[in-house]
Structure formats: C-alpha cells, structure tokens
Structure 1
Amino acid sequence: MDRLLHLDRSLDELDPPRWNAPAPEATHLVRKVHKLRAKPLGELHPADLHNLISQQVALPYVLPLAVRLLLDEPLLDAYFYDGDLLLAVVETPATAWTTMPDIAHQVRALIASLPQTALSDLPCGSAEKLSRFTTQPDGGTAPSAATARTGL
C-alpha cells in the first residue's frame, strides 16, 4: 500500500486503534503527539514528523513522508538543527524498516551521497549513527533502552 495516497487522512484514521484523549497530567510532548495523530498527514510539518518519528509513532506512515522531504533537502532543519530529521529517521528501530526496504534503500543512498563536509557540521556522533544505519541489512538501528519510547 502506498501510504502517501492518504494525505487527507489522519493517523487516528490510518493507524488504529484511535488513541484516547491524554490524561490531564500528561506531559506537553504526550499532548502534542496526541494532537498530531488527529492532523491530516498532508498537513504535518517537518517538526511534526520529527516528533512522531522520535517517539516511534505510526512509523509506517510518517517515515515515507519524512524521507520524501529528505530526498529534496537531506540536511533539513526540522526542529533543532541541520540534519535533525535525517538523524531521527536513522535512529528508528530496524524493525520499522522491514516492511519498507525500498525506502530504507533510498535513505542509504541519500546518506552515501552526502559530502564529508556536510557531515562535519552535524552534532558529535552523527556520522557514526549514519554509518550504522547504512550497514544494517534492512536499515534502522537495533532497539536499545536509549531509543525505546514509552508513555505514548
């Protein structure tokens, strides 16, 4: 299924079950992610995609959107710094890429095309994260306690 055909629909519609309203004491991030799930995919901004990807929410729907943006601007500053969306994408668990090997291949090719000078402007450790993604057979990173997200 081409997930980009559903740009007029929200994650609540496409990624059941629909989430209940966040608890009154929920953090700002939890409330934000809940709100983003109700937004049509076509209205999600790069920062929205960064938040959803970083929290590992509906990855089969948001990763293709992010990669589409990255193909046009690989070091897009989505939220914090140049390249932050690309780094969020490559830090997703390897299991997220098993149903999207073609998109993982696009990301690997994109990383391979980046000039070394561009990598030097990224935060410390970024080159290693990009390299780790390109060496994974199906893309992504091995799940770890540091990348696991809970509470959403």
Structure 2
Amino acid sequence: MNPMDHRLHLDRTLDELDPPRWAPPAADSTRLIRKVHELRRVPLRALVPADLRTLVSQQVALPYVLPLAVRLLIEEPLLDAYFYEGDLLLATVNAPAAAWTLLPELGVRLRDVIEALPETAIADLPRGATDEIACFAARIESLR
C-alpha cells in the first residue's frame, strides 16, 4: 500500500470502510450501544486506545480495528486502555479466530510480542488471562 492510500484509509470512518452504515441507535439503547455507534463515525486516526478496546471487545469491524490495536500493543503490550493494565491486549487476544484468519501475519507479530513479555507481567493480569493468551497463541500457531 502506498503512503497516500494509508493516509486516506486513516481519515475514513468505519461506517465508510465497513458498509452498510449503521442506522442511529434506538432511543432506549444502552450507553455501550450508543458509544459503538458513535465510534463508527470517528475517523480511524482519531480512535484512542479506549475506543479500540471497546470496538475490539464488541467485535466491530475487526479487519480495520485489529491492526490499529496491534500497532499500539507492539509498542506497549500492557497498555492500560481504559480499565486496567493489559485490557487492550486481552480484548485483542479474545477476538474471534475468524478475524485472525484474515490477518495471520498480524497475529504472529502480536504472539511474538506476548512471548517476549516476562512471565511476571502475564501473571499480574486478571485471573484467566494466562489461559486466554495461551488459547490465542495456539490459534495463531494453527494458522501457520
């Protein structure tokens, strides 16, 4: 992809990149549903880590959102996006296997970053995180 295409891509929204555009949420929608609808109208470059965690957790437009999340995680694997240290990482490794089949190289890069973390860093994550990370690594290995 040439640099100009990349810049144009980041200036676009999920509503533009992941059709069809979503209709406005119902008046009685939860705060989370309203937030996800709102985030689909934000240019990709303006999404902050908490936004990415929300979108990944809700499995929204993963082919566009996962690369952004992984880019951040490569730089700071245990980034505290909103709730706790490592929350973006755990949301990302819990993305469905089908999303990673579309992005196998990205999954390998994330797995390599995770494997480079000290065991104590993984141990400090919430209960069950070690198993979630192990499942992710196994899924990525099965794609090879």
- TM-score normalised by the shorter chain: which range applies? over 0.9
- In 2, the alpha carbon distance for the partners of 1:58 and 1:132 equals 22
- In 2, the alpha carbon distance for the partners of 1:25 and 1:90 equals 31
Determine if contact 1:7/1:40 at 8 Å carries over to the other structure: yes
Unaligned runs of 5+ in 1: 140-152
Matches within 5 A, 1:9-88: 9-88=12-91
Helix, strand or coil for the counterpart of 1:98?
A: helix
Unaligned runs of 5+ in 2: none
Determine if contact 1:77/1:84 at 8 Å carries over to the other structure: yes
Structure with the higher fraction of residues in helix conformation: 2
Matches within 5 A, 1:70-149: 70-136=73-139, 137-138=142-143
Between the two proteins, what is the percent identity of the paired residues? 59
- In 2, the alpha carbon distance for the partners of 1:82 and 1:121 equals 9
Aligned residues: 138
- 1:62 shift after superposition: 0.3
- 1:138 shift after superposition: 3.1
- 1:121 shift after superposition: 1.1
- In 2, the alpha carbon distance for the partners of 1:91 and 1:37 equals 21
Taking only aligned residues, the RMSD between alpha carbons, in angstroms, comes to: 1.5
- 1:13 shift after superposition: 0.5
- 1:110 shift after superposition: 1.0
- 1:28 shift after superposition: 0.4
TM-score (normalizing by structure 2): 0.92
TM-score (normalizing by structure 1): 0.87
Which piece of structure 1 moves more, 35-44 or 97-106?
97-106
Which fold has the larger relative contact order, with Cα–Cα distance below 8 Å and residues 6 or more apart in sequence? 1
Deviations 1:8-61 (A, max 9, x none): 000000000000000001110000000000000000000000000000000000
- In 1, the alpha carbon distance for the partners of 2:128 and 2:81 equals 19
